[in-house]
Amino acid sequence: MKHKVSILSFAILFFAISNSVFAQIKDTLKQGDLYDMDLETLMNIEVTTASQKKQKISDAPATVISLSAEQIEKYGWVDLKDIFKALIGVDVSYDVQGEVKTLVTLRGVEGNQKILILQDGQRQNPITGERFIYAHNIPLYLYKRIEIVYGPASALYGADAYAGVINLITKEGKDIDGITGSVGYVSTNALNAHILFGKQINEDIDVVISGRIYNGEDYALHEAYKDMNDYGSVSNYTGVLGDKSKKYPIKNWNFLTKVRYKKFTFGFDWQHELESNAPSCIPTNYAYIENNIWGQDIRHFYVDYNIVKNKKLDLSAIATVGDYTINPASNFYITNTQLNNGGASYKYGYSGYVSGLIKANWTLSEKISIISGISSDAVKSFPKTQNLSEPYHLDEGLADNLSMYKDSNGYVFGLKGLTDTIFGERNYQNFGGFVQAEYIPIEKLSVIIGARYDYNTIFEGTFNPRAGLVYRATRKITVKALYGTAYIQPSNYYRWENWANPYAMHIPNEDIKPEKLQSLELNANYFINKNISLRTSIFRNDMTDIIRPMPANSQEGDYPYYNALRTSIGESPNSGFVEINGNLGKMYSQGVEIDLNFQFFSFLSSLGYTYLEGEDLENNTNLPKTSQHKVNWNISYSTKKFNVALSTRYYSDVNTTNTNSMYGNTGSGDKSLKFTGATIFYANTYYKLNKNIKIQASCDNVFNTKHYGGAPYGESIWIQAKAPQALRKVLFGVTFNF
């Protein structure tokens, strides 16, 4: 009932705003002055992420999409996760599980740890390789521009710049010039509010300070999808389990400050996230209750010193201190077979690091420029613990006692050679150096060649080259031929991940190699006229040494693995399923993207189509978590006071894996390994009452369409084979500035 009220309220506000501004629409059409720049200028703005230097987006040796603060405002995107529904080449599943939250697959490359997230060039992903969580935790009001680079970029950025790079570029104090803020109510019963102060004190000092909270509840998927057999189990909870609240909490906040003083920039940010860990788990295994949660904190402090800056040389040094910690309350709440009780299996993990980077951008002549740098990372790493019966005791230091898994010969988990029962820090260092040169032999042609070498004290060396040709055929047509490589580090998170229950066990593996990717791409941009542009890309990704869970091989002499919890069900501790992370198999993805952008009077629109195919060569199946056809259409209409925007996302049938319990090789499910796609609509409107106050209403899933996305992990007996997506969700808000 509350959702019917929400959409009615949204419609009333929408039409009330619309009727009040019809006269202004007519005036604006006459004026034709909504944008100061034509589309060709807009599409050739400067970007920095593709080559770590300023260059026109058409000259960058990569496919780059740049989203402005104005676009973020027009479409009502609140958090970073929201932009994926509007981006070409992306398969996205929302609310899949707390440790992932939003599952993102870019050009067929699946995994949140495979997109490098930067903020002002500073790494945001946990340095030890944990999955990046896209939740209600990365607010977008802070940013004047978001740059999305498609394709591998390890030649510049090192580990984890695998499928692409997203750089969040914060506003300067001079951009804000005062105080702005907002207060919003979300129909799931949540509060979203922020305050942002920015000021350029003088030519030498610029200050930004910001705070944001998102607090309340998330969408109760088990109530919306009662027709799913799996979700029916929630209504069957009895006893202690039945008495527990079925709400899905969100308790997130952010803090950021950035100060520029002459040649120095000081930055600090703190991201606190705590959300439900349940949504796409199977309720008979993981309980749908309020205290089944996942929380974490990510913090960074950096100092950037611009040593030299002139026409020939831009030399800077950056020092960063950061950490990542799992909230000790984080747990997987496991139900018992009677669904009347259960228990929390708590988790904890920590990583901290100190990094240094010296970077130089040389302009040797009009034809030759070079960018180069050296970096060093010292990492303190305490990977995610075993399943704990109570929250981690922070005062006891970074140690996890695995002695209960020690067999009679002193081997932990029965793993030959592993005798250390106290699981503690696994620290390491990484050293890197890169160079990229651009040569312009003729006016219309740029040749880009670069490479990076990293040495890690755990897995030793990796070398990643890069090459590109950018040909400016005419003033309106640019063609790019690109080659790139990337790697995923075999991080401590994967090397030392361990958990056990009476039925299965996951054990450490120190011998994982880096996962690697090679990419080829042909890209063309055509500015048909000052109002219409067309971009098309053809790409191929080849991935090898895929890091993923797999059954553990038999040890020398068939020495057995050891799971002490097997005795609780009357079985031998030397039996049961044993899993391990390792390198297994190859994958490829290939496809075509077509992106049409146009501007007409006060209308701005983009229409994108993606064709994607590929194969998991290990399992001889289509790429999991992906659809073959995707369409994204975004259109906005704006006057000086009024805006209305609509986004439409279509995706065809989605591939699952061949290991899930509803489809594929197990059970009696559909052997096609697919589930049906959908078309989803999103809307946003606002009206500026005056220069200081704006009222807004936005709606996700306008037509309340039931639909599904790819599920995380291997879609085993613990995870749904398809992840139900939220139905209609409405936000009402007021933004102010003074």
CA atoms of 589 and 598, how far apart (whole Å): 29
Q: Residue 420, class by beta-carbon neighbours within 10 Å (0-12 exposed, 13-18 middle, 19+ buried)?
A: exposed
Q: Is the pLDDT of residue 231 over 90?
A: no
Q: Is the pLDDT of residue 22 over 60?
A: no
Give the strand order in the sheet containing 499-500. Answer: 499-500, 504-507, 577-583, 547-551
Mean pLDDT of 440-445: 94
Please work out, in degrees rounded to the nearest 5, the angle formed at the alpha carbon of residue 118 by the alpha carbons of 326 and 699. 80
Dist. CA 351–CA 711, nearest whole Å: 27
pLDDT of amino acid 352: 96
Instruction: Check residue 661 and give its pLDDT.
Output: 62
At residue 298's C-alpha, the angle toward residues 295 and 302, to 5°, is 170
Quote the pLDDT of residue 255: 98
More confident of the two residues 600 and 43: 600
Q: What is the pLDDT of residues 309-335, one digit of tens each?
A: 998 999 999 999 999 999 999 999 999
Is 10's pLDDT higher than 70? no
Q: DSSP class of residue 406?
A: B
Instruction: Give dist(CA 174, CA 199) in Å, integer.
Output: 5
The predicted model gives 97-124 an average pLDDT of 93
Q: What pLDDT, on a 0 to 100 scale, did the predictor assign at position 458? A: 92
pLDDT of residue 17: 41
Q: Give start and end residues of each alpha helix (H) in 190-320.
A: 221-224, 239-243
Q: How many Å apart are CA 513 and CA 633, to the nearest integer?
A: 40
Give the mean pLDDT of 336-358: 94
Nearest to 166, CA basis, from 181, 147, 190: 147
Asked if the model's pLDDT at residue 665 lies above 60, the reply is no
Average pLDDT along the chain: 90
Query: Strands, E, within 555-602: which ranges?
Result: 577-583, 586-600
With tokens 């419609």, the residue in question is 11
Instruction: Give the CATH number of domain 2-737.
Output: 2.40.170.20
Res 20 pLDDT > 80 = no
Query: Taking 60 as the threshold, does the pLDDT of residue 7 lie above it?
Result: no
The Cα–Cα gap between 714 and 666 comes to: 13
Beta-strand pair 178-186/190-202: antiparallel
In the predicted model, is pLDDT for residue 106 greater than 90? yes
Confidence of residue 26 (pLDDT cuts 50, 70, 90): very low
Residue 24 has what pLDDT? 40
pLDDT at 601: 80
Our CA angle for 289, 294, 299, nearest 5°, is: 155
**Residue 27 predicted with pLDDT over 80:** no
Asked if residue 358 lies in contact with residue 317, where contact means CB atoms within 8 angstroms, the answer is yes
pTM of the predicted model as reported, rounded to 2 decimal places: 0.92
